[in-house]
Amino acid sequence: MGGRHEPKISSRIVLGNDRLRDSSSSTTDIAPLPRSTDIDVSIIIPTIRREQLLANLIPRCFAQLGFADGQVEVIVVDNCPLQSAKPTVERLSEKFGPSLRYLSEKRPGVSHVRNVGVRAARGRIIGFIDDDELPAETWLASMLACLKAHDADVVLGPVYPIFDSPEANNDAFICKTFTESSDRPTGTVNKAHLSPTRATPSSVLLSDDGDR
Protein backbone atom coordinates (compact mmCIF):
# COMPACT_ATOMS: atom_id res chain seq x y z
CA MET A 1 0.00 0.00 0.00
CA GLY A 2 1.26 3.45 -0.77
CA GLY A 3 1.14 6.07 1.95
CA ARG A 4 -0.69 6.20 5.23
CA HIS A 5 -4.45 5.84 5.39
CA GLU A 6 -6.42 6.39 8.56
CA PRO A 7 -8.75 3.48 9.39
CA LYS A 8 -12.18 3.91 7.85
CA ILE A 9 -14.75 3.73 10.66
CA SER A 10 -18.17 3.40 9.06
CA SER A 11 -21.61 2.14 9.99
CA ARG A 12 -20.99 -1.24 8.35
CA ILE A 13 -20.27 -3.22 11.49
CA VAL A 14 -20.89 -6.93 11.36
CA LEU A 15 -21.07 -9.58 14.04
CA GLY A 16 -18.64 -12.49 13.98
CA ASN A 17 -20.40 -14.85 16.36
CA ASP A 18 -18.82 -18.16 15.38
CA ARG A 19 -17.98 -19.70 18.75
CA LEU A 20 -14.25 -19.98 19.37
CA ARG A 21 -12.83 -23.18 20.76
CA ASP A 22 -11.33 -21.88 24.00
CA SER A 23 -12.20 -18.23 24.20
CA SER A 24 -11.15 -17.12 27.04
CA SER A 25 7.03 5.69 24.97
CA SER A 26 6.19 8.20 27.62
CA THR A 27 4.77 10.76 25.20
CA THR A 28 1.31 11.05 23.70
CA ASP A 29 2.55 12.91 20.61
CA ILE A 30 3.08 9.87 18.40
CA ALA A 31 3.37 10.48 14.68
CA PRO A 32 1.49 8.01 12.45
CA LEU A 33 3.77 5.39 10.94
CA PRO A 34 3.51 4.14 7.35
CA ARG A 35 1.67 0.87 6.93
CA SER A 36 3.93 -2.13 6.41
CA THR A 37 3.26 -4.56 3.57
CA ASP A 38 4.71 -7.33 5.77
CA ILE A 39 2.47 -6.82 8.81
CA ASP A 40 -1.07 -8.09 8.35
CA VAL A 41 -2.47 -7.29 11.79
CA SER A 42 -1.57 -4.88 14.59
CA ILE A 43 -3.05 -6.11 17.87
CA ILE A 44 -3.48 -3.27 20.36
CA ILE A 45 -3.67 -4.13 24.06
CA PRO A 46 -4.73 -1.32 26.41
CA THR A 47 -3.45 -2.15 29.90
CA ILE A 48 -3.26 -0.80 33.42
CA ARG A 49 -1.70 -2.64 36.37
CA ARG A 50 -2.37 -6.16 35.09
CA GLU A 51 1.14 -7.42 34.52
CA GLN A 52 0.46 -11.12 35.16
CA LEU A 53 -2.56 -11.19 32.87
CA LEU A 54 -0.57 -9.33 30.23
CA ALA A 55 2.22 -11.91 30.47
CA ASN A 56 -0.33 -14.63 29.66
CA LEU A 57 -2.03 -12.68 26.88
CA ILE A 58 0.93 -11.57 24.77
CA PRO A 59 2.17 -15.08 23.84
CA ARG A 60 -1.38 -16.06 22.87
CA CYS A 61 -1.52 -13.12 20.46
CA PHE A 62 1.65 -14.32 18.75
CA ALA A 63 0.41 -17.93 18.64
CA GLN A 64 -2.52 -17.26 16.32
CA LEU A 65 -3.01 -19.99 13.72
CA GLY A 66 -2.47 -19.09 10.08
CA PHE A 67 0.07 -16.31 10.63
CA ALA A 68 3.81 -16.51 10.05
CA ASP A 69 6.46 -14.67 12.05
CA GLY A 70 6.37 -10.97 11.27
CA GLN A 71 2.75 -10.93 10.06
CA VAL A 72 1.42 -9.87 13.46
CA GLU A 73 2.65 -7.08 15.70
CA VAL A 74 1.47 -6.50 19.27
CA ILE A 75 1.35 -2.98 20.68
CA VAL A 76 0.93 -2.68 24.44
CA VAL A 77 -0.30 0.77 25.49
CA ASP A 78 0.19 1.32 29.21
CA ASN A 79 -2.20 3.70 30.99
CA CYS A 80 -0.38 3.43 34.33
CA PRO A 81 1.57 6.64 35.14
CA LEU A 82 4.31 4.47 36.68
CA GLN A 83 4.62 2.40 33.48
CA SER A 84 4.05 -0.81 35.41
CA ALA A 85 3.69 -2.94 32.26
CA LYS A 86 7.05 -1.92 30.80
CA PRO A 87 9.21 -4.57 32.53
CA THR A 88 6.83 -7.32 31.39
CA VAL A 89 6.92 -6.14 27.78
CA GLU A 90 10.70 -5.72 27.84
CA ARG A 91 11.13 -9.26 29.17
CA LEU A 92 8.86 -10.75 26.51
CA SER A 93 10.56 -8.68 23.81
CA GLU A 94 13.58 -10.92 24.24
CA LYS A 95 11.47 -13.68 22.69
CA PHE A 96 9.25 -11.77 20.27
CA GLY A 97 11.65 -9.05 19.18
CA PRO A 98 10.52 -5.86 17.41
CA SER A 99 7.08 -7.32 16.72
CA LEU A 100 6.25 -6.52 20.35
CA ARG A 101 6.14 -2.81 21.14
CA TYR A 102 5.49 -0.73 24.26
CA LEU A 103 3.90 2.71 24.49
CA SER A 104 2.91 4.81 27.48
CA GLU A 105 -0.23 6.96 27.54
CA LYS A 106 -0.54 8.93 30.78
CA ARG A 107 -3.89 10.57 30.02
CA PRO A 108 -6.50 8.45 31.83
CA GLY A 109 -9.15 6.73 29.75
CA VAL A 110 -9.24 3.79 27.39
CA SER A 111 -10.20 5.95 24.39
CA HIS A 112 -6.89 7.83 24.66
CA VAL A 113 -5.03 4.54 25.02
CA ARG A 114 -6.63 2.90 22.00
CA ASN A 115 -6.16 5.95 19.79
CA VAL A 116 -2.45 6.10 20.66
CA GLY A 117 -2.18 2.45 19.62
CA VAL A 118 -3.99 3.09 16.34
CA ARG A 119 -1.64 5.95 15.46
CA ALA A 120 1.39 3.77 16.10
CA ALA A 121 0.10 0.69 14.28
CA ARG A 122 1.86 -0.47 11.12
CA GLY A 123 -0.46 -3.30 10.13
CA ARG A 124 -3.05 -3.38 7.37
CA ILE A 125 -5.67 -4.50 9.91
CA ILE A 126 -6.03 -3.24 13.48
CA GLY A 127 -7.36 -5.47 16.25
CA PHE A 128 -8.18 -4.68 19.87
CA ILE A 129 -8.19 -7.02 22.84
CA ASP A 130 -8.39 -6.17 26.53
CA ASP A 131 -5.66 -7.13 28.98
CA ASP A 132 -7.97 -9.44 30.95
CA GLU A 133 -8.94 -11.51 27.91
CA LEU A 134 -7.33 -14.52 26.22
CA PRO A 135 -7.91 -15.18 22.50
CA ALA A 136 -8.62 -18.59 21.09
CA GLU A 137 -5.91 -19.71 18.68
CA THR A 138 -8.32 -19.12 15.77
CA TRP A 139 -9.39 -15.64 16.94
CA LEU A 140 -7.66 -13.62 14.24
CA ALA A 141 -8.34 -16.09 11.45
CA SER A 142 -12.06 -16.17 12.31
CA MET A 143 -12.30 -12.39 12.51
CA LEU A 144 -10.46 -11.87 9.23
CA ALA A 145 -12.59 -14.49 7.46
CA CYS A 146 -15.73 -12.67 8.60
CA LEU A 147 -14.26 -9.31 7.56
CA LYS A 148 -13.57 -10.61 4.05
CA ALA A 149 -16.74 -12.65 3.62
CA HIS A 150 -19.04 -9.75 4.49
CA ASP A 151 -16.98 -6.84 3.12
CA ALA A 152 -17.06 -5.27 6.57
CA ASP A 153 -15.16 -2.34 8.02
CA VAL A 154 -15.45 -3.56 11.61
CA VAL A 155 -16.00 -7.05 13.01
CA LEU A 156 -17.21 -7.64 16.57
CA GLY A 157 -16.61 -10.97 18.27
CA PRO A 158 -18.00 -12.76 21.33
CA VAL A 159 -16.34 -12.91 24.73
CA TYR A 160 -16.93 -15.86 27.07
CA PRO A 161 -15.93 -15.93 30.75
CA ILE A 162 -13.54 -18.41 32.34
CA PHE A 163 -13.46 -18.33 36.15
CA ASP A 164 -10.91 -19.67 38.59
CA SER A 165 -13.74 -21.40 40.43
CA PRO A 166 -15.13 -24.61 38.85
CA GLU A 167 -18.46 -23.87 40.53
CA ALA A 168 -18.71 -20.52 38.74
CA ASN A 169 -17.79 -22.09 35.40
CA ASN A 170 -20.65 -24.55 35.84
CA ASP A 171 -23.17 -21.92 36.88
CA ALA A 172 -25.21 -21.01 33.79
CA PHE A 173 -26.54 -17.78 35.28
CA ILE A 174 -23.09 -16.46 36.23
CA CYS A 175 -21.61 -17.43 32.86
CA LYS A 176 -24.45 -15.73 30.99
CA THR A 177 -24.08 -12.58 33.10
CA PHE A 178 -20.44 -12.17 32.08
CA THR A 179 -20.82 -13.26 28.45
CA GLU A 180 -20.64 -10.65 25.71
CA SER A 181 -22.28 -12.17 22.65
CA SER A 182 -25.35 -12.08 20.44
CA ASP A 183 -27.94 -14.57 19.25
CA ARG A 184 -27.85 -13.02 15.80
CA PRO A 185 -25.97 -15.02 13.13
CA THR A 186 -22.48 -14.24 11.92
CA GLY A 187 -22.55 -11.53 9.28
CA THR A 188 -25.46 -9.59 10.76
CA VAL A 189 -24.97 -5.88 10.11
CA ASN A 190 -24.89 -3.84 13.31
CA LYS A 191 -26.46 -0.42 12.78
CA ALA A 192 -24.81 1.08 15.86
CA HIS A 193 -23.12 4.43 15.26
CA LEU A 194 -19.47 4.94 16.14
CA SER A 195 -18.64 8.49 17.12
CA PRO A 196 -15.52 9.77 15.30
CA THR A 197 -14.31 11.28 18.58
CA ARG A 198 -14.12 7.94 20.37
CA ALA A 199 -12.16 4.77 19.90
CA THR A 200 -13.94 1.55 19.04
CA PRO A 201 -14.81 -1.13 21.61
CA SER A 202 -12.56 -4.05 22.45
CA SER A 203 -12.51 -7.28 20.45
CA VAL A 204 -12.82 -5.64 17.05
CA LEU A 205 -10.86 -5.46 13.83
CA LEU A 206 -10.58 -2.38 11.66
CA SER A 207 -9.63 -2.37 7.98
CA ASP A 208 -8.04 0.58 6.23
CA ASP A 209 -8.11 -0.83 2.69
CA GLY A 210 -9.57 2.22 1.00
CA ASP A 211 -13.07 3.64 1.06
CA ARG A 212 -16.09 1.38 1.24
Cα radius of gyration (the chain): 17
User: What's at 121, amino acid-wise?
Assistant: A
Which carries the bigger pLDDT value, residue 123 or residue 18? Answer: 123
- Topology of domain 13-207, CATH: Spore Coat Polysaccharide Biosynthesis Protein SpsA; Chain A (3.90.550)
Say if strands 154-156 and 204-207 run parallel, antiparallel, or are unpaired: antiparallel
- C-alpha 119 chain-centroid distance: 14
The average pLDDT across 101-116 equals 94
Q: Give per-residue burial for 80-112: e unless 16+ CB within 10 Å, then b.
A: beebbbbebbeebbeebeebbbbbbbeeeebeb
pLDDT at 192: 56
Q: What's the pLDDT score for residue 158?
A: 84
pTM for the predicted model, two decimal places: 0.75
Map out the domains of the chain as residue ranges. 13-207
**Nearest CA among 108, 131, 115, 113 for reference residue 49:** 131
Express each pLDDT in 126-161 by its tens digit: 999 999 999 999 999 988 888 888 888 888 888 888
Q: What percentage of the chain carries pLDDT values higher than 70?
A: 72
Q: What is the pLDDT of residue 149?
A: 86
Tell me: pLDDT of 115 over 50.
yes
Q: Is the pLDDT of residue 107 over 90?
A: yes
pLDDT, tens digit, 9 for 90 and up, residues 61-89: 999 998 888 899 999 999 999 999 999 99
Q: Mean pLDDT over residues 11-34, rounded?
A: 41
